Amino acid sequence: MILVKSPREIEVMRRAGAVVARFFEEVRPLILPGVSTWDLEVFADRFIARNGVRSAFKGYMGYPAHLCASINEEVVHGIPSKDRVVREGDILSIDFGIVREGFYGDSAMTFPVGAVNVVSSRLLAATERSLAAGISEVRPGNRLGDVSAAVQEAVEAEGFSVVRDFVGHGIGRSLHEDPQIPNFGKRGVGPKLMPGMILAIEPMVNAGGWPVEVLADGWTVVTRDRSRSAHFEHTVAVTEDGHRILSLP
């Protein structure tokens, strides 16, 4: 069952999303060669305390940190660690969520560390564009399949592949609500979008093939072919006249 939010609830979710967006603005300048993903976790811990919000991920299904920080061939759910230091040319996916006034905000972004190779910069641009293409299909009367297909088409037009084993999700008073939002699918199928639905759309895109595997830590998802992967996510409301991205400053 897809829960519909009232305009007042959407206003709270916009405030939650704004905190997440501010986190990304503040963390961006810290992503330099030599920084460890643990350093970024420490920053996130202070950010959460300073903003009087709650961590969305820490403790979720036993996940041990505020952030997911995934480097290069890591797709999602990389656990911050002092041993994971980024170098010039790496790409770093950060996924961050919080709870504010009972509602969740969730967003992700992949950053280049200094200058990156051509495939990596194309991968980041294509993934971000695929999220924009999916969001552009969010309006009342469209179906979820229209969103999924738009993401997939944008990715595959660039010769990259969409991860099949992890998907986006509805979001609200829980981090994960119905519906699941695959980044692949067919136009014209799936639930009809209605004002008040809130969607976390999050394409995970591999430079090589789509298969992924989970490492022995039980969390870190990597591409099976060890090609690089990127991840962009926004929390998006369906409005009367289209959509509104809630995870913006």
Query: Which residues lie near Co ion (CB under 5 A)?
Result: 106, 200
Provide, rounded to whole angstroms, the least separation between the CB of residue 101 and ligand MF3: 19
Using rule CB under 6 A, residue 60 touches ligand MF3: yes
Binds 24: which of Co ion, ligand MF3, none (CB < 5-8 Å by kind): none
Tally of CB atoms within 10 A around 25: 9
Which listed range, 39-47, 56-64, 80-88, 222-230, lies at the site for ligand MF3 (CB under 6 A)?
56-64
- Quick one: which of 243, 177, 163 has its CA closest to 211? 163
Using rule CB under 6 A, residue 57 touches ligand MF3: yes
245/168 Cα distance (integer angstroms):
15
132/124 Cα distance (integer angstroms):
13
At 133, which helix (H) or strand (E)?
helix 118-136
Binds 211: which of Co ion, ligand MF3, none (CB < 5-8 Å by kind): none
Using rule CB under 6 A, residue 23 touches ligand MF3: no
Provide, rounded to whole angstroms, the least separation between the CB of residue 235 and Co ion: 8
Provide, rounded to whole angstroms, the least separation between the CB of residue 200 and ligand MF3: 6
Provide, rounded to whole angstroms, the least separation between the CB of residue 95 and Co ion: 7
Using rule CB under 6 A, residue 61 touches ligand MF3: yes
Beta-ladder partners of 35: none
Terminal alpha carbon distance of the chain: 30
- Quick one: which of 229, 235, 209, 247 has its CA closest to 78? 229
Binding residues for ligand MF3 (CB under 6 A) = 57, 60-61, 63, 68, 77, 95, 106, 108, 169, 175, 200, 233
